[in-house]
Amino acid sequence: MSVFKVGKATLTRIEETYLAVYPPKDIFPELTDALFNEHGHWLAPNHYDPETNKIKLSVHSWLLQLDGHKILIDGCCGNQKSRPQRPFWNMLNTPWLDRLAAAGARPGEIDLVMCTHLHHDHVGWNTQLRDGKWVPTFPNARYVFSKLDFDYFQKLDSDPANEPTEFGSFRECVVPVVEAGRADLVTGPHRLNEFIEILPAGGHSPGHFYFRLNVDGNRGMITGDVFHHLLQVFYPYWNFPKNSDAVEARVSRRRVFDEAAASGSMVFPGHVGAPFAGYIEKTGSSYRPRF
Binding site for Zn ion (CB under 5 A): 121, 225
The contacts of residue 67 (CB under 8 Å, 6+ apart) are 8, 195
Q: 134 with 184: CB under 8 angstroms?
A: no
**DSSP H/E element including 289:** strand 286-290
Identify which of residues 96 and 195 has a Cβ nearer to Zn ion in the complex.
96
- CB 198, min distance to Zn ion, A: 18
By C-beta, is 48 or 227 nearer to Zn ion?
A: 227
Determine the residue type at 258.
Answer: D
Q: Are 240 and 228 in contact (CB under 8 A)?
A: yes
Cβ distance to Zn ion smaller for residue 27 or 66: 27
SS3 assignment, position 104 = coil
Task: Give the nearest distance from C-beta 57 to Zn ion in angstroms.
Answer: 8
CA–chain centroid gap for 155, Å, is: 22
**Phi/psi-derived region of residue 276, left when phi > 0, alpha when psi is between -120 and 50, beta in every other case:** left
CB of 254 to Zn ion, least distance (A): 19
| Least distance in angstroms from the C-beta of 240 to Zn ion | 9
Nearer to Zn ion, 118 or 175 (CB): 118
Our CB check for Zn ion shows the closer of 121 and 172 to be 121
Q: Which of 98, 99, 63 is nearest to 277 (CA)?
A: 63
Q: How far is the CB of 204 from Zn ion (least distance, A)?
A: 8
Q: How do 279-283 and 286-290 pair as beta strands?
A: antiparallel
Contact 49, 20 (CB under 8 A): yes
Q: Which is nearer to Zn ion, 172 or 225 (CB)?
A: 225
Rounded to a whole number of angstroms, the minimum distance from the CB of residue 80 to Zn ion is: 19
* Amino acid code (one letter) for 89: W
